[in-house]
Structure 1
C-alpha cells in the first residue's frame, strides 16, 4: 500500500475589506469579504515542513488590502481577477489562484428627504458574490470568472401550485392549486471568453441577471419550484449571452396554512406557519451550449 498527498492548496480566508472613495464630497463604500486560495508546488511544506516556496497567508492578506487601494474595486469581478492574476503572474511557485469575494450591500441614509453623502444603512441579507480563477498549464493561462448572489429571499403569496406528484404509502402532502412560494436563492453564473475582454460591464450584467431572476419568479405561474428555476436560468442566459451557464440553488421555504378552525375562525389563505426546517432543496444548472463546459472553474 502506498499513501500519497493527493491534493493540496492554501490561502487566507475571510479578509474583511471596507474601501471608501473620498475624492469628492459624496463618498462611496465597498464592503467585502475576500478569500484567497493558491495552488502550486507546495508539497514539501506538507511532507517535510519546508516553507521555501510558501507565500505566507499573511502576505496574501496584505495584498488583498493593498490592491483595494492600488487597483481599486471598480467591480468585484475585476478586483478578484486582478488579485488572482497577480498571484499567478508574480509569485513563481504559484500555478493557480482562486479569489472569492462577497460584497455586502449598503444604501444611503435619508436625511431631510435627501440621500446623505457619507452615511449608509446596511440593506438586508442579500450578498453579491464573485470568484476568479487563474491557472497556468500547457504553456497558456486559463482564466474563469464567476459571479452571483446569495440569500436573495423571494416570496409570492399566489401564482404557485403543486399537484400531480408521485405518491406512495408514506405520502401525506395534499395537492394544492394555490400556495405561497418562497425561497432564499443562491445563483452563480460563469462568464464566457467574451466577458473577459476589456470594457465588459460586469455591474450591468449582474443587474440584468438579477432582474431576470426576480421577474421570472414573480410573473411565471409556477407548477413547481423546479419549473421556476428552469425559467429563471433560461431568462438570465438569454438576457446576458456572455454568460455560459448559471447554477441555481433554492431552498423551498414552506408556508403552511395554520388551522384556525379549532378556534371557530376561518382561514382563507391568510395566516401561515413559516417552517424553517426541514425544507425541500431544489437545484438546477442551465447552460448556453455555445460555450464549452468548464468544470474546473467551479473547483
Structure 2
C-alpha cells in the first residue's frame, strides 16, 4: 500500500535538501518495561502491554550543515557512519527504561544529539514488530498465555516517529507522528457502494450489499507532542486502542463507501482522545470480486476472488474542527 508515514523535509526556497541515515535497523529486547495504567475506552479492552518481547524496525535521519563537506569535498571528518548509527540505536534499547515506541525514539534521539554536536536535527521512526501470545494448558485444564513462547505475527503494527531539534533549553520535539499500520479488515456484508458517477467509461456495477476488504494506515498527532512518550500513560494513545476503534466502527457502521467509513472512524478517535490534534488515513481497497452469489437461494452466501490490479486508495486528514461540526 502507498504510505507517507515518513515525513520527509521540505526545504524552504533557496535551501537545499540534505540528510542521510540508516533504515531497516531490526532490534529486539526481552523484558522491557511494561506499559501500564493506560486509560480504557468503550471500544477496547486494552489497558497496557507486558512488553516481554519488544521488537522494532528503526529508521534514522540526520541533518546538519557540517555534513555538506562530505557531499561536496568528500571530507568525512564530521560524518557519523551509518553503521555507527545502527550500533548506537541498538545499544540504546538496552538503556531505555520506558514503555513506548515513541519514548524510545525520543530517548535515543536526545542521546544522539548529546553524543554528536555536529547533528543539528534528527528524525527517528520505528515500526513495532508484532508478536502474538500463545495459549498453553494449565494444571487445572484451562489455558493461559505462555510467558515464554510467542508467535511472530503478520498482523498490523504500531508506528512512531519523532523529529528533534536543538532548542535553547536542550533537544525538543519539533514534530511527532504515531500510528497503526497495515490494519486489514474484512466485512462479509453491511457495506454498499452506489450512486457514483455513471458514464461511458463506467463498468463497475453498483452494489447494495458487498463484502468489503480494506487495508488501512491510521496516524495521529498530539496537541502536546510530549504526550506521545507515554510518561503519563493516561494521556498516551495506544495503537491497539485505535485499531479496536477501527474494527468496532467497521462492525457498527453500514458504510456507503470507504470514505464514509474512514470519516466515522476518525470522528470516534477524536472523540475518545481529546489530547489529539489530528488523525490521518491512508486506505487501500482490496475488496474481493464475487464469482457466485445467492448460492442455494441465500443472498448472504457468496464465492469471491481477489481483485486484479490496479486497486483504489484514499488519503484523508481530520482535526478537531470536524468533530465540533457534528
Quick check: TM above 0.5?
Answer: yes
The runs of 5 or more residues in structure 1 that have no matched partner are 291-299
Distance in 1, Cα, partners of 2:184 & 2:148: 28
- Residue in structure 2 matching 1:283, options 312, 315, 319: 315
Structure 1 residues 132-141 or 55-64, which shifts more? Answer: 132-141
Normalising by structure 1, report the TM-score: 0.85
Residues 2-81 of structure 1 mapped to structure 2, 5 A cutoff:
6-21=16-31, 28-41=52-65, 42-72=67-97, 74-81=99-106
**1:273 and 2:305 equivalent?**
yes
Deviation of residue 86 (structure 1)? 2.2
Structure 2, gaps ≥5 residues long: 1-13, 34-49, 138-142
Q: Does 1:162 align with 2:193?
A: yes
The TM-score with structure 2 as length reference comes to 0.78
- Secondary structure of 2:78's aligned partner: coil
Cα distance, 1:280 vs structure 2: 1.1
Post-superposition CA distance 1:22-48 (Å, at most 9, x none): 89xx99101111111111111111000
8 Å CA contact 1:208, 1:236 repeated in 2 = no
Equivalenced residue count is: 283
The verdict on how the C-alpha distance between 1:208 and 1:232 changes in structure 2, with shifts beyond 3 A counting, is same
1:124 aligns with 2:154: yes
Q: Output the CA distance in 2 between the equivalents of 1:75 and 1:22.
A: 10
Tell me if structure 2 keeps the 8 A contact 1:12–1:35: yes
**Structure 1, 202-211 or 81-90: larger mean CA deviation:** 202-211
- For residues 253 and 119 of structure 2, what CA distance do their matches in structure 1 show? 47
Could you tell me which of 239, 259, 271 is aligned with 1:238?
271
Alignment of 1:158-237 (within 5 A): 158-193=189-224, 195=227, 199-201=231-233, 204-237=237-270
Rounded to whole Å, the distance in 1 between the matches of 2:144 and 2:196 is 52
The more displaced of 273-282 and 193-202 is 193-202
Q: 1:203 to 1:121 in 2, by over 3 A?
A: farther
Q: Post-superposition shift, 1:10?
A: 0.8
Does the aligned pair in 1 maintain the 2:292–2:302 contact within 8 Å?
no
Q: CA RMSD in A?
A: 2.8
Question: Partner of 2:291 in structure 1?
Answer: 258
Query: Displacement of 1:11 after TM fit?
Result: 1.1
Distance in 1 of aligned mates of 2:269 and 2:18: 35
Structure scoring higher RCO (CA < 8 A, sep ≥ 6) equals 2
Query: What is the DSSP-based 3-state SS (H/G/I as helix, E as strand, rest coil) of the residue aligned with 1:258?
Result: strand
Given that 2:51 and 2:99 are in contact with CA atoms closer than 8 Å, whether structure 1 keeps it comes out as no
